Structure 1
Amino acid sequence: MQLLLLNLTIAASLIGLMSTTPTSKPPLSENNCGYKSCHPIKKGFINVHIVPHTHDDVGWLKTVDQYYYGSNSKYQNAGVQYILDTVVDSLRKDKNRRFIYVETAFFWKWWIKQHDIVKSRVRKLVYNGQLEFISGGWSMNDEAVTHYHSIIDQMTWGLRKLNETFGECGRPKIGWQIDPFGHSREMASIFAQLGFDGVLLGRIDHQEKRFRWQTRTPEMVWRGSDSLGEVSDIFTGVMYNTYAPPPGFCFDILCGDEPIIDDKKSFEYNVNRRVDEFVAYLDNVTQVYSTNNVIITMGEDFNYQDAEAWFINLDKLIYYVNERQLTGSKYNLIYSTPSCYVNAIHNETKNNWILKQDDFFPYASDPHAFWTGYFTSRPALKRFERLGNNFLQVCKQLYALADLGPEDMVDLNALREAMGVMQHHDAITGTEKQHVANDYARQLQRGMDECEIITNAAISKLLEVNIELKTCPLLNVSQCTTTTTNDGFVVTIYNPLSRPVDKVVRLPVKEDSYSVNDLQGTEYKTQVIPIPDFIKNIPGRSSQAKNELIFIARGIPALGWKSYRVMVYGKTNKNIIASIKGNKHSVKDTAFIMDPNTGLISSLTIKNVSIDLSQNFFYYNGFVGDNSKFENRSSGAYIFRPDGPLQKITNKKVDYKVYEGELVAEIHQTFNEYISQIIRVNAIDDYVEFDWIIGPLPHSNKNGVEVVTKYQSDLKSNQVFYTDSNGKQMLKRIRNFRPSWKVNLSEPVAGNYYPVTTQISIKDTENELAVLVDRAQGGTSLKDGEIELMVHRNCLHDDAFGVGEALNETAFGLGLVVRGSHYVTVGNNGMAALTKDIVQRRLLDTWTFVVPVDEKVKYNMEFAGLKRPLPKSVQILTLEPWTGFDFLLRLEHVFEKSDQPQPVVVPLADLFTSFEIISAQETTLGGNQWLKDSHRLHFNTNGTVEDLLYQDYNIVTDYETETHLLRNSIKRHTVINAFDDDSLNVSLLPGQIRTFIIQIKKY
C-alpha cells in the first residue's frame, strides 16, 4: 500500500508539472485579468488610483514562520495567514474592490494549506482582476548586496509558482520595490528582461526626492544596461509617501486613525471633514506628478489582518470624494493596482520622459542617516548566502545531468526556497534581529543539507556505483572530518563553469606529507603548510588538522569533475618550506614585496605590470546618540555613521612568517589580538589573495568598532572609482557627486560608500587596480589611489530604524569571528577579461566532495557534462529541471559591450553528454512567458539627462558622454523550435541573458 501511494503521488506530481508551461491560461470565459480588469478612468479628471496592499517582510523582527502564523507577538503583532484569509472574504463581497499581493513565499505557504473550495474562490478573484500579484518574487529582494544570479533565481521561483497555479492571470506586470534601501541599475535591467512594464519605488535619497518633487520628475524611463540599450528601458515611478497611506488615513486594526463615519444622526459624523483632509493631501500630491494619474498606497507592514476594516472605510472614502465631482471637484478615486496605474499613464500621454542611466545609491533618509552600514552588516551571513548560491547551481546542474526523478524534487526545492528567502531586504542585508538571522542560517543550512542528498544521488548515478560523498562545510576554519580521520581519501572536484578550470585545492590534514594521484596514476606535486594559530584558535573549531595539503587540479571539465586519490606519505615534513628568501615573494608571474620594517606589503607585480601598493587595517568609531533628532543618529545595522576620523589598528610592526614553495607562497600576518591575515599567491591565478580573519571585535570601545581594510596605490585616479551593480555591470562613481542631482554631504565618509557585490576598482591613464570580494561589502575611494572596504562591524547602539537591538553578533559565547578573502589584481587599462574571469571562478567555484578510500569500489574518476567547452565569454547561467520532462536553460554573455563588443554564437546541438536537446523555445528571463508573447508597454524618452543637473559642477567628467551611448535597441532572437542541428544556434550579444525551456532526449 505504501508503494502504491508513493507511485500515485509521483504520478500526480508529473501530471501537475506537465501542465504548467508558460502558455497555461484559465478558461477564456473567466479570463478578465490584467489591464482588461482595470476600472475605467475619467477624462478631464485627476484619476486617483487607490491601491490596497500589505507589505509582509519575509522575516525581520520575527522569523518567517512566526510572521506567517502570528506567533511571538511581543516583537510584532503580525500574522500573514489572517491577512490572506480576510482579504479573500472582503474581495468576494464587492467586485469593485482590488488588492495586490507580492511575497510569493508567504502566499504559497498559505495556498498549499487551503481547501479546494477556497482555492476555487481565489482563482476567480485572480481571473477577474480583483486579486493581482505584483512583482511575484519569492521575496522582495534587496538591491544592494544581492547578486544577479540569486535575484534571477528567486524571481523565477516565485513566478513559476504563480504560473503553475494561475497561468497568464498570475503573471505580474510591475516591479514593486517599495521597501529596499536604495535601488540598483541591474535590478531595473532584470525587471525589463522579466517582461515587466514598469517598476515603482518607495525609498530614494531625501535630497533627490526633494529635487524630483520640485522639478515634477518622479517618473522617468530607466535604462538598466548600456549593453542592452532600449531593451532594458523600463518606466519607473517614485511614490509620494513610500508605501504608507496618507497621514491620518490608516484604517487597519494596528492603527489608531479615525474611521469615516457617515451616519448623519451620529454625533461622530465626520464625512465632510475627512474628505476635506484627504482632498488637501491630494492637492499636495498633484503638485509633484506630471500626469492626470496619481497612485495612493493604502496599506503598511502586515496590514489587513482584518481586511474588512480597511475596505469599509475605503468604500466610503471613494464614494464621498467622488460625490464632490457634482460640485466641481477634479478628483476621481478608483480602486486600482500598480499595473492599472502604469497602464493609465501609458495610455494618457506620449510624453518624452527623462532618461535615467545611473542608480539610486547610496540612500539617505536624512542628512546624517546614510543607509550604507548594511552593505557590510552580518558579514558571515552574507558569505553563507554566496556559498548557498554556489551550491544551488551545482545541485541543479547535477540533478539535470543525472536526470533524477520527481521524488528528489523536494530536496532541491528546499534550497531553492531557502535561497529565495535569503534575498529578502531584511535577510542578506543583515538588518534583522539576531534570532531571525539565526533562523535564516538554519533554513539555508537545511536547504544545503537536503541538496547534498541530491548531489550524492546524482554523482552516484553518473558513476554507476553507490557511494556516500560528503562535502566539507567548515573549510573556512580548516576543518573537515573525512580528510583528518582517514589515512586515505578520494577528493572529487566538481566544476560548475562552462569551461575547464584549474583549481588550487586546499584540504585540512593532520600529517606532514601526502601523495596525490589521478585516474591514470599520475602523481601530483603537493605542498603542506602549517595552519596558523590564529585559525586553530577560532572559537568553535574542533579539528585535529595541523596542516593544509595543497595541490593543483588541472583541467577540471566543464559541468564535470575529476577525482584524486590522497594517501598519507610518511612523516618526513618534506613539503614544508618555512624560510625567508628576501623580501620578494612570488609564484610564476605574480609577486609582491614585503617591507621588513613594517611587516606590510609594499608593491605588487602581475604579468610585468607593477604598482606601489600597501595594505593595512583601520577602524571607525561608530557614532552614538539617542536618535532624537538627525544630529543624534547612531551607527547601527542600517546606518554607517563614523564618529571621528579613521584610526589605524596598530602602529607597531606586524609580525609575520613566510612559507614558500612551487605551488603557493604565503605570508602569515598578525596585526593585533583580533586581526590576522594570510597574503597568498599561487601558480595558476593572476591575483594576490588577502585572506583575513577578524574578531572577536573588542567591546572596550563603547561606540562599537567598524573595521576596514585599505589598499593604497600610486595610481592617479582623479576622484573616480568603479563598483559593480549586483555583480553584472560596472558603474562609474565620482567622489562627492551624483549624476542625476546635486548632493550636499553632511556625512562625507558614509555618503561616499557604495555597495560592492563582486568588485571595486580604480585606474589612471596607464594602469588599473581591482579588488574582488567574496561577499557583499561597503566600499569607497576617499582619496586618489585608494580603495577602502569595510569587512566587519559591531554597533553597540540601535540606529532607530525598527530593528530595535544593537548589531553585536556572537558565536560560542564570544564575539563573532569572520574569515574572508579579497582578490587583488593589477593590469593595464581594460582588464575586464581578467576580472570577469576571476569573478566567475570565485562565484561559481569548484565544489569539493570527499569520501574515504575503499579499495573494493572502482568508479569513473572523471566526468564532463559538456562535449565541448564554451568560450570564456559565455556561461550556462542556469541548467535545472523544470516542468514535466523539460529543463530550464539560460545562456549568458558575461562581458558588457564596453568590454567585448563581439556577439557569440553557441550551438546547442550535441552539446551535453547526458542528453540531446531536441527543441528549445525562448521565454522571458523568468521562464514564465514565451518571449514571442511578450509585448511590453513602450514609453518614449528624450534620450538625455537634463543639463540643469550638471550646470554648476566644477568637476570635469566624461560621465555625461558615457551615459548617452548605445541608444539603439537590440533585435533578439525569439523562438528556436526545430529538430535540425543548424537551427539550434543561440546568438548572444554582450551583456545578454537568454532563457529557454528545452526538451531533451536521454542518451
Structure 2
Amino acid sequence: MKTTARRIARCFPVFFTSKRKRTRRIVALFFTLLFLGIYFVLAQFEQTGLIGLKMSNTRTFASENSFSWDSVLDALEHTEEGDFLRYDKGKTKGKQTHDKLKVIVLLHSHNDPGYKYTYDQYYFNKTKHVLSLAVEKLMKYQDMTFIWTDTCFLDRIWKELSDEMKANLKYLVKTGRFEISLGAWVSADECVTHYYSYIDQLIEGYSWIRQHFDVFPNVSFNMDQFGTSSSIHYIRRKVGIRHSVYNHIHKGTKVFFRKNRLLEFNLKQSLINNMDSFVHVEPFDDLGFKGSCGPSAKICSKLALTKTTLSFDKSLPRNATSMDFAEQLVSQIRLKSEMYLHNVLFLPVGDDLVYITSQEWDNQYKNLKKLMQYINDKSKWKIDIQFGTLSQYFRELEKVASKSVKQFPTVSGDLFPYTRGPKYWSGYFTTRQFVKRLGRELQESVRATEMLIAFTIPNTIERIQPISNKV
C-alpha cells in the first residue's frame, strides 16, 4: 500500500504536499491548462480564417491571405442599435496616400424591365427616351461614355430606330463608348433563380447582341442585384465575363471590406480551379449619385447636374459655389480612393431612370466637362478625371496591378444574404411560392419544347434533302 501511495504521489505531487505549496501548484496547473486551451482554440480559428480577418496589419492580410465569405460574416459585430458597424466607426485602417489619381467617369441609367410598373409602361414612358437620346448624344459628344445592361430593351427599341440610328448605335457599341454589360436578356436575380433559367436568358441576350452588333460583352455591371454566388460567376466565366461590379451586398461585410481595403478581390470557385473572376464592390449603399463619389451622400448627390449650370469663372463671385463643390468632390474622391489598394478609381454617374430628356443629357455632359477641366487644371490636387468605360477601368487596373507588389485577396463562397441596415433581405427565399412554382413549371415546358425541336429539325432536314435531290 505504501509503495502504491508513493507512486500516486509522484504522479500527482500537487495533492500530497503542504497546503501552501499545494495551492500554488493548483493555480499553476489551472493557468497552464487555460493557456493550452486558448492556444488550441486560436489555432482552430486561424485555420478557418477568423484570426486573419481580425489582424491589425490589414495590408498583409489584403496581399497574402485567402478567406471565405462565411468567415467574414462570423467576424462581424453588431452595434447596440442592431445595425452593423457604421462608416464613422469603420474608417479605413492606416493612412494610404496615393500619387496622382486616375478617375474614370461612366454614365448609367438603371431601368428595370418590371418593378412598380409593367415592362411596356417603363419602355414607353422612360426607357425608350433614355436609349434613343443616348445614341444621339454620344454621337454629338465624342468623349462621353454610357453603359447599358438589359438586352430586352435594346431589342424593343431596335425595331423602331431608323437605319441611320441603327448604324450609329452599331458604331458606338463597336468603339466601346456605348458599353453593353453582361449581355443577358435581363439583369436577373442571382440567388433563387434556377441555373437553367439564368443560362437560357444569357443565350437569348448573347444571340441577339452577336446577331446585331457582332460583339461579346466582357464586363458585368450589377448595381441592383442583391448579392451574388460563385455558381453564377462560374457560368459567367464560361461566356467570357472576367470582371464584375457589385453594389448591393451584406452591409456589415461591405463596411469590413472598405475598412480593410478588400473591396476588390478574386472570387474563387470552390470545386474548379482557374475559373476565378474579379469582383469590384462599390463602397457605399446607394446605386445612384448619393453613393457614387464618397461617404457624404449630401455632396455626392450634387453630381446630378441635370438641372443646374456650373461655372468656374473667377471674376464672378457667384461661381464660388461651383469651386467649393469641386473642392468638396475632390475630398470625397480622395476618401473613396483610400478604400482601395491602387490609384485608379471608378466613378459611376447615374441613378434610377435618369437621362430621359435632351436637357438632362446636355446639362450633365457640359457641367461634368467643366468640372473635370477645373479639377485637372489644379495640379496640387493630383487628379486626372475623364470619361471612360468599365472595360477601360479594369484594363488600367491590370496595368497598375502588374507593377505592384500588392496582390488582390481571394474570396470563396456565396455573397449572401444581402442586408440594408439591420434588415436581412432573405425573405425572397420563402415568399411568393406559387409564382416561383409557376415559373419552374413553365421552365420545364420550355426546356422540353426546345429538346423536342432540337431532335426534330435534324431528322426533318435529313428527310427533305433526298426529296429535293430527286426533284
Which of 117, 121, 134 aligns to 1:66? It is: 121
Report what 2:251 is aligned to. Answer: 206
Residues 27-78 of structure 1 deviation map (CA, whole Å, 9 limit, x = unaligned): xxxxxxxxxxxxxxxx9521111111111111101111100001xxxxxxxx
Report deviation, 1:333: 0.5
Structure 1 Cα separation of the partners of residues 163 and 110 of structure 2: 26
Residues 659-690 of structure 1 deviation map (CA, whole Å, 9 limit, x = unaligned): xxxxxxxxxxxxxxxxxxxxxxxxxxxxxxxx
Residues 726-761 of structure 1 deviation map (CA, whole Å, 9 limit, x = unaligned): xxxxxxxxxxxxxxxxxxxxxxxxxxxxxxxxxxxx
2:101 alignment partner AA: I
Report deviation, 1:240: 2.5
- The alpha-carbon distance between structure 1 residues 162 and 252, as it changes in their structure 2 partners (threshold 3 A), is farther
Report deviation, 1:266: 5.4
Structure 2 counterpart SS, 1:333: strand
Structure 1 Cα separation of the partners of residues 318 and 451 of structure 2: 65
- The alpha-carbon distance between structure 1 residues 114 and 165, as it changes in their structure 2 partners (threshold 3 A), is same
Structure 2 Cα separation of the partners of residues 109 and 264 of structure 1: 48
Report deviation, 1:200: 0.9
Report deviation, 1:244: 1.9
Report deviation, 1:364: 1.2
Which of 289, 296, 304 aligns to 1:251? It is: 304
Report deviation, 1:161: 0.8
Which of 198, 203, 208 aligns to 1:156? It is: 203
Residues 517-666 of structure 1 correspond to what in structure 2 (within 5 A)?
Answer: none
Asked if residue 118 in structure 1 is aligned to residue 165 in structure 2, the reply is: yes
Asked if residue 389 in structure 1 is aligned to residue 389 in structure 2, the reply is: no
Asked if residue 218 in structure 1 is aligned to residue 260 in structure 2, the reply is: no
Residues 512-538 of structure 1 deviation map (CA, whole Å, 9 limit, x = unaligned): xxxxxxxxxxxxxxxxxxxxxxxxxxx
Asked if residue 182 in structure 1 is aligned to residue 227 in structure 2, the reply is: yes
- The alpha-carbon distance between structure 1 residues 374 and 914, as it changes in their structure 2 partners (threshold 3 A), is farther
Asked if residue 109 in structure 1 is aligned to residue 159 in structure 2, the reply is: no
Instruction: Check whether the contact 1:401–1:914 (CA below 8 A) recurs between aligned residues.
Output: no
Structure 2 Cα separation of the partners of residues 211 and 166 of structure 1: 41
Residues 913-928 of structure 1 correspond to what in structure 2 (within 5 A)?
Answer: none
Report what 1:961 is aligned to. Answer: none
Q: Percent identity?
A: 25
Structure 1 Cα separation of the partners of residues 250 and 271 of structure 2: 27
2:245 alignment partner AA: L
Asked if residue 347 in structure 1 is aligned to residue 393 in structure 2, the reply is: no
Which of 267, 276, 294 aligns to 2:345? It is: 294
Report deviation, 1:207: 0.9
Report what 1:380 is aligned to. Answer: 434
Report deviation, 1:293: 0.8
2:288 alignment partner AA: A
Residues 264-295 of structure 1 deviation map (CA, whole Å, 9 limit, x = unaligned): 56564233112111101112101101111111
Which of 307, 310, 313 aligns to 1:260? It is: 310
Report what 2:103 is aligned to. Answer: 48
2:178 alignment partner AA: L
- The alpha-carbon distance between structure 1 residues 66 and 252, as it changes in their structure 2 partners (threshold 3 A), is farther
1:180 alignment partner AA: Q
Structure 2 Cα separation of the partners of residues 383 and 308 of structure 1: 46
Asked if residue 308 in structure 1 is aligned to residue 359 in structure 2, the reply is: no
Instruction: Check whether the contact 1:251–1:313 (CA below 8 A) recurs between aligned residues.
Output: no
2:335 alignment partner AA: N
Instruction: Check whether the contact 1:191–1:199 (CA below 8 A) recurs between aligned residues.
Output: no
Instruction: Check whether the contact 1:86–1:308 (CA below 8 A) recurs between aligned residues.
Output: no
Residues 764-808 of structure 1 deviation map (CA, whole Å, 9 limit, x = unaligned): xxxxxxxxxxxxxxxxxxxxxxxxxxxxxxxxxxxxxxxxxxxxx
Which of 106, 129, 136 aligns to 2:176? It is: 129
Asked if residue 82 in structure 1 is aligned to residue 141 in structure 2, the reply is: no
Residues 639-788 of structure 1 correspond to what in structure 2 (within 5 A)?
Answer: none
Structure 2 Cα separation of the partners of residues 349 and 376 of structure 1: 42
Structure 2 counterpart SS, 1:403: helix
2:238 alignment partner AA: Q
Report deviation, 1:127: 2.2
Structure 2 Cα separation of the partners of residues 310 and 377 of structure 1: 40
Structure 2 counterpart SS, 1:283: helix
Structure 2 Cα separation of the partners of residues 284 and 59 of structure 1: 36
Instruction: Check whether the contact 1:182–1:360 (CA below 8 A) recurs between aligned residues.
Output: yes
Instruction: Check whether the contact 1:251–1:309 (CA below 8 A) recurs between aligned residues.
Output: no
Structure 2 counterpart SS, 1:300: strand
Report what 2:424 is aligned to. Answer: 370
| TM-score (norm. length: structure 2) | 0.70
- Give unpaired runs (5+ residues) of structure 2: 1-97, 293-299, 465-471
- The alpha-carbon distance between structure 1 residues 333 and 914, as it changes in their structure 2 partners (threshold 3 A), is farther
Report deviation, 1:143: 0.8
Instruction: Check whether the contact 1:244–1:299 (CA below 8 A) recurs between aligned residues.
Output: yes
Structure 1 counterpart SS, 2:381: coil
Instruction: Check whether the contact 1:54–1:301 (CA below 8 A) recurs between aligned residues.
Output: yes
Report deviation, 1:144: 1.0
| TM-score (norm. length: structure 1) | 0.34
Structure 2 Cα separation of the partners of residues 386 and 342 of structure 1: 37
Residues 940-961 of structure 1 deviation map (CA, whole Å, 9 limit, x = unaligned): xxxxxxxxxxxxxxxxxxxxxx
Asked if residue 193 in structure 1 is aligned to residue 247 in structure 2, the reply is: no
2:127 alignment partner AA: V
Which of 376, 385, 391 aligns to 1:333? It is: 385
1:226 alignment partner AA: S
Report deviation, 1:344: 1.0
Whichever structure has more strand as a proportion of its residues is 1
Structure 2 counterpart SS, 1:229: coil
- The alpha-carbon distance between structure 1 residues 366 and 403, as it changes in their structure 2 partners (threshold 3 A), is same
- The alpha-carbon distance between structure 1 residues 401 and 310, as it changes in their structure 2 partners (threshold 3 A), is same
Structure 1 Cα separation of the partners of residues 316 and 132 of structure 2: 32
Report what 2:30 is aligned to. Answer: none
Structure 1 Cα separation of the partners of residues 436 and 251 of structure 2: 28
1:319 alignment partner AA: Q
2:389 alignment partner AA: T
CA RMSD of aligned residues (A): 2.3
Structure 1 counterpart SS, 2:414: coil
Structure 1 Cα separation of the partners of residues 342 and 157 of structure 2: 38
Report deviation, 1:250: 3.7
Structure 1 Cα separation of the partners of residues 264 and 155 of structure 2: 33
Q: Which gives a bigger RCO, structure 1 or 2 (Cα 8 Å, sep 6+)?
A: 2
Which of 236, 257, 262 aligns to 2:279? It is: 236
Structure 1 counterpart SS, 2:352: coil
Report what 2:18 is aligned to. Answer: none
Residues 264-275 of structure 1 correspond to what in structure 2 (within 5 A)?
Answer: 268-269=318-319, 270-275=321-326
- The alpha-carbon distance between structure 1 residues 268 and 395, as it changes in their structure 2 partners (threshold 3 A), is farther
Report what 1:93 is aligned to. Answer: 140
Instruction: Check whether the contact 1:52–1:99 (CA below 8 A) recurs between aligned residues.
Output: yes
Structure 1 Cα separation of the partners of residues 144 and 317 of structure 2: 29
Structure 2 Cα separation of the partners of residues 80 and 387 of structure 1: 31
2:325 alignment partner AA: R
Structure 2 counterpart SS, 1:299: strand
Report deviation, 1:262: 3.5
Residues 676-706 of structure 1 deviation map (CA, whole Å, 9 limit, x = unaligned): xxxxxxxxxxxxxxxxxxxxxxxxxxxxxxx
- Give unpaired runs (5+ residues) of structure 1: 1-42, 71-78, 405-460, 463-884, 886-912, 916-1003
